[in-house]
Amino acid sequence: MPTVPNPRVTVSGQPTALISAPWAIVGCPLVPPPLPPCVTAQWVTGTTRVVSNGQPLVVQTGQAVCAPNGTPVVVVASQTRVTGT
């Protein structure tokens, strides 16, 4: 879940998310001990041509890493009504 939705650009009436906002991670079963579980994620790549407030938007093809352990984020479900680059 994005911690800061972006209401300036909406998709099907729902706010989008900028890559600059951290995301809250609900569960992180992929990381074995002794690494700590993921708590937040930060997107590092997003749209390249579509921006809002001068920031790229989060897209399914973007990449993110979890904090505090740096595990890559795997996108499980997303909306597919709009695509952007």
Q: For residue range 54-66, what is the model confidence (pLDDT) as tens digits?
A: 999 988 888 999 8
**Range 3-36 burial, b when 16+ CB lie within 10 A, else e:** eeebeebeeeeeebbbbeeebebeebeeeeeeee
pLDDT in tens, 19-35: 999 988 876 665 566 66
- Three-state secondary-structure class, residue 15: strand
pLDDT of 20: 93
